[in-house]
Amino acid sequence: MSQHRGLTGQSIALVAVFAAFIAAASMVPGIELLGGVPLTLQTFAVVLAALVLGPWRGLAAVAVYLLMGLFLPVFAGRASGLEVLVGPSGGYLIGFLLAAVVVGGLAQLGARMGRLRGSVRATFWLVGSGLVSIPVIYAVGAPWLAYRLGLPMLPGPDCSGLLDIDCASGVTLGVVPFIPGDILKVVVAGIVAAAIHRAYPGLLGAARRVTAASSAAPSDQEDEAARATA
């Protein structure tokens, strides 16, 4: 019975809509911040999906998004197809899968431990969970990028400046330029996820535990659906 938990209409709708949200966020132009720096939303949407849906539904949403990418131009820069997945930057997309499980698991854990009740506590916990995604994504993406482009993983010993060619490496080209933007995106994703959990408690099963303790009702998936919208 428990293995069919992910199969209710509610979960299917959440997974499908969040896969679509990741796709849409990858396609719409980024938000311009104060300095005119564009903020693309793909990583934001992946982390948000994991924080809102938990590990398995988050993984399913990212997987469906990658599946969509095989036919539709839903990857970053309106790219599509297998060539993105097998290309040098495909490791980041695979890293999204792993990150969804890890981040979603942490968010789920927070919900189980009751860390998502207060607004400030929930924001801190969710931002902290989301930040874990950054090392996970780069741990998969950057070595693959370095391997495919024939770069060393770490910068050479003669590395002195940003424009020095000795510095061309997996870390300096594939990680460092994106870290500030990623931290910003994850923080925003944590704030948004906290607002969503405030608006719809029970998405991660926290409200279910509370109500199940107060009234020993048979907790079915249908009831969870009702509580999520209550």
Partner 1 sequence: MITLLGIYRPARTPLHLAPAWFKMLMLLGISIASLAISDPVTSLGILAASLLLLASTKPPLKATLKGMALITVLAVMAAGFQIWLGDYVRALDLAGDLIAISALALAVTSSTSMAQMMDLVVALARPIRWILPPETLGLLVALTLRAIPEAAQILTESRVAARARGLERDPRAILIPSGARTVGFALQLGQALHARGIAEHGRSSRRDPAPERDAETEAPAPLLAEPPVREMPSEEIPEVPKLSRRERRRQG
| Distance, CA of 18 to chain centre | 10
Q: Nearest distance from residue 64's CB to partner 1, in Å? A: 5
DSSP string over 92-135: HHHHHHHHHHHHHHHHHHHHHTTTTSSHHHHHHHHHHHHHTHHH
Give yes or no for residue 33 binding partner 1 (CB under 8 A): yes
Would you mind telling me the total number of residues written for the chain in this entry?
230
Q: Which one-letter DSSP state was computed for residue 29?
A: P
Convert residues 96-135 into a mask of x (bound to partner 1 by CB under 8 A) and - (unbound). ----------------------------------------
User: Does 7 contact partner 1 by CB under 8 A?
Assistant: yes
Tell which positions 54-83 bind partner 1, by CB under 8 A. 60, 64-65, 67-68, 70-74, 77, 79-83
Stretch (H or E) spanning 32: strand 31-32
Nearest Cα to Cα of residue 118 among 206, 222, 5: 206
Q: Which is nearer to partner 1, 69 or 95 (CB)?
A: 69
Task: Report the C-alpha gap between 204 and 112 in whole angstroms.
Answer: 8
1 binds partner 1 (CB under 8 A): yes
Q: Which stretch binds partner 1 (CB under 8 A): 4-12, 112-120, 131-139, 204-212?
A: 4-12
**Neighbour-count burial of 58, counting CB atoms closer than 10 A to its CB (0-12 exposed, 13-18 middle, 19+ buried):** buried
What token pair was written down for 133?
């995604």
Which is nearer to partner 1, 1 or 120 (by Cβ)?
1
- Kindly state the smallest distance separating residue 139's Cβ from partner 1, in Å: 20
Q: Which is nearer to partner 1, 17 or 139 (CB)?
A: 17
- The residue within the footprint of partner 1, chosen from 8, 109, 153, 211 (CB under 8 A), is 8
| Cα 121 to chain centroid, rounded | 20
* Residue numbers 13-32 binding partner 1 by CB under 8 A: 13-21, 23-25, 27-28, 31-32
**Which residue in 62, 33, 34, 29 sits closest to 48, CA to CA?**
62
Q: Does 9 bind partner 1 (CB under 8 A)?
A: yes
Answer yes or no whether residue 159 interacts with partner 1 by CB under 8 A: no
Beta carbon of residue 175, minimum distance to partner 1 (angstroms, whole number): 17
CB of 50 to partner 1, least distance (A): 13
